[in-house]
């Protein structure tokens, strides 16, 4: 299974986004194109949003094959990179609406932490929200989604 032309175009546009660039203490240094930030091993900002329904089930979704990190894998949180002009909360609201079609819901802030792996270095903020409405998936980023009980 390969990425669609639509996913490929989205990946190119995503790599060109201006992303918040920060230091090891999460102080804003400026902005860089996403691909430059990744290639140079610099620190950015990211958000994770766990979406629950009122029954307490967690929304999990499968990432498209065009995603730079973990393509085709299941994910427990919507989210992404904080753009140059955004706060963490603004980024979380934007990502939740883009990826799952959920807007206008209160976001609960949880932890703020540093994350590093071979592909990224990020200061992150985690949020959660509750939603019982329909999901509208972003086809360039999400293949499928469902709510599952937490056991």
Q: Tokens for 23, please give them.
A: 């230091």
CB 146 within 8 A of CB 137: no
For residue 142, which of 81, 82, 74, 94 has the smallest C-alpha distance? 74
**Threshold 0.85, pTM exceeds:** yes
* Domain architecture of the chain: domains with CATH: 5-148 (3.90.79.10)
Pairing of strands 43-52, 120-130: parallel
CB 25 within 8 A of CB 46: no
Per-residue pLDDT of 76-117, as tens digits, reads: 999 999 999 999 999 999 999 999 999 999 999 999 999 998
């Amino acid at each position: 299974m390969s990425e669609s032309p639509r996913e490929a175009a989205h990946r190119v546009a995503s790599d060109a986004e201006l992303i918040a660039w920060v230091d090891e203490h999460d102080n804003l240094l400026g902005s860089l194109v996403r691909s430059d930030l990744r290639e140079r091993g610099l620190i950015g900002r990211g958000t994770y949003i766990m979406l629950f329904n009122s029954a307490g089930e967690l929304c999990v979704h499968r990432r498209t094959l065009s995603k730079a990190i973990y393509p085709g894998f299941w994910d427990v949180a919507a989210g992404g990179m904080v753009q140059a002009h955004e706060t963490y909360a603004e980024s979380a609201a934007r990502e939740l609406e883009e990826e799952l079609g959920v807007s206008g819901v209160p976001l609960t802030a949880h932890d703020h932490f540093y994350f590093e792996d071979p592909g990224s270095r990020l200061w992150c903020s985690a949020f959660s929200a509750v939603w019982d409405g329909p999901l509208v998936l972003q086809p360039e980023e999400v293949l499928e989604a469902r709510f599952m009980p937490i056991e």
